Structure 1
Amino acid sequence: MLLGTELEVFEPGKAVLSLAINDSLKQQHGFVHGGVISYLADNALTYAGGSLLGDSVTSEYKINYLRPGIGDTLVAQASVLSSGKSQAVCQCEVIAIQDGERRTVAFALGTIRKVGD
């Protein structure tokens, strides 16, 4: 809520979040701070896993930054790779959109755990 993230898609095994890029999200070189990209990936992973598990939290995740986050909007597209009763392994692609052009800026993989199990 603080950053203005929108939940665009939330369906079984999938979540898509978007975030409008503004100057407050950028670091000293003029592109989106890695912490913002990481936050977006983490949230998308947890939404995707939670879509199958219910109330969930991130157990662990890894992120690879591929290129600077430059554009107007960031979109995080997450999906469940495998899910059991209490945990799910999910992947997330973070894309920067500028003038209609989409470029992958990061890719994350995480384990999402059902709360209370």
Structure 2
Amino acid sequence: MSKENIQRMRQASIGEPAWQLLGIRLEAIEDGFARVNLTVRPDFLNFVGTVHGGIIATLADSAFGYALNSLYFPTVASQFNIHFLNPANLGDELEAECRVVKAGKRTVMAEITVSTTSGKIIAKATGTGIPLERQQE
């Protein structure tokens, strides 16, 4: 089933409205893993000149959603927690990588790292999802 889910997620990434608005790109997806990228634009900056936390969280959440749904479709988030560790700046190329660490019958837990492509860690996140189809098993 995961091959079908991975193909479904690749197709979904092409037309996802939020991704088109922000310029998010799906770089890699496989069972329980996803990597997405975006380039920081001037309209992503906050009042102190660094990337708004909501942009960083959206990138992390995007990798999270795609990694979970590569395993079980549909899966929805039940919890998401992010820690901002370093600022991101105009022109940075950001990537978020998500790995599922536990895929149970009722919940799926994952860890996400947002970093610059040069390796500076921007944020760490964790999330838990609920596979809707598996709830009926």
Decide: shared fold, TM above 0.5.
Answer: yes
- What are the superposed Cα offsets for residues 34-92 of structure 1, whole Å, 9 maximum, x if unpaired? 00001111111111111111222211111000011125211000000000234210000
Corresponding residue number in structure 2 for 1:109: 126
The match for 1:83 is: 103
For 2:61, the equivalent position in structure 1 comes to: 42
Question: In 2, distance between residues paired with 1:68 and 1:31?
Answer: 6
- 1:10 aligned to 2:29? yes
**Sequence identity percentage:** 35
Question: What are structure 1's unaligned runs of at least 5 residues?
Answer: none
TM-score, length of structure 2 as denominator length:
0.78
Bigger strand fraction: 1
Measured against aligned partners, the alpha-carbon deviations of 1:16-45 in whole angstroms (never above 9, x if no partner) come to: 000111001111111110000011111111
RMSD (Å) for aligned C-alpha atoms? 1.3
Question: Which runs of 5 or more residues in structure 2 are unaligned?
Answer: 1-19
Determine the structure 1 residue equivalent to 2:112. Answer: 92
Q: How many residues align?
A: 114
Higher Rg: 2
Residue type of the alignment partner of 1:106: A
Aligned partners of 2:88, 2:74: CA distance in 1, in Å? 30
Greater helix percent: which structure? 2
> What's the counterpart of residue 6 of structure 2?
none
